[in-house]
């Protein structure tokens, strides 16, 4: 069932990202971090831009510089989520299932913004 309440930048939601193609992050229930501005989040378009999250625990691969660790417990107690900033995606709010938390850490928010800009090749002085 889709979440129909308000959505704000830096909210974390459980989302249904299926159907996907290739190496996109998938899952009927995957955490995502909302990165779209609140004007878009409130707009009648009913779209959000989000970054999929994965968990640090259990991974054996090396993480990319574009992947940013969030504080442990941001989504689930005892797990450390990692924002996959090179997979920013815009999708319908109907994919949002339920709120899972919020990223309040301003330093990490800034690192995520920098990683998104770098991904798109945007340099800001």
**pTM strictly above 0.75:** yes
Asked if residue 16 lies in contact with residue 50, where contact means CB atoms within 8 angstroms, the answer is no
Model pLDDT for residues 96-115, shown as the tens digit of each residue: 999 999 999 999 999 999 99
Model pLDDT for residues 59-79, shown as the tens digit of each residue: 777 888 899 999 999 898 888
Q: Can you list the pairs that 30-34 forms with residues at least 24 positions away whose Cβ atoms lie under 8 Å? A: 31/75, 31/81, 31/100, 32/96, 33/70, 33/83, 33/103, 33/112, 34/7, 34/8, 34/9, 34/10
**The CATH fold of domain 11-119:** SH3 type barrels. (2.30.30)
Domain positions in the chain:
11-119
């Amino acid at each position: 069932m889709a979440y129909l309440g308000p959505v704000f930048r830096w909210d974390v939601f459980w989302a249904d990202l299926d159907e996907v193609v290739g190496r996109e992050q998938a899952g009927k229930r995957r955490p995502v971090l909302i990165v779209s501005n609140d004007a878009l989040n409130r707009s009648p378009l009913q779209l959000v831009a989000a970054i999929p999250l994965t968990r640090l625990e259990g991974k054996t691969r090396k993480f990319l510089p574009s992947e940013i660790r969030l504080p442990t417990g941001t989504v689930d107690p005892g797990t450390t989520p990692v924002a996959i900033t090179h997979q920013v995606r815009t999708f319908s709010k109907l994919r949002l299932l339920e709120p899972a938390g919020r990223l309040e850490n301003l330093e990490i928010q800034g690192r995520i913004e920098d990683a998104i800009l770098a991904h798109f090749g945007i340099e800001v002085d």
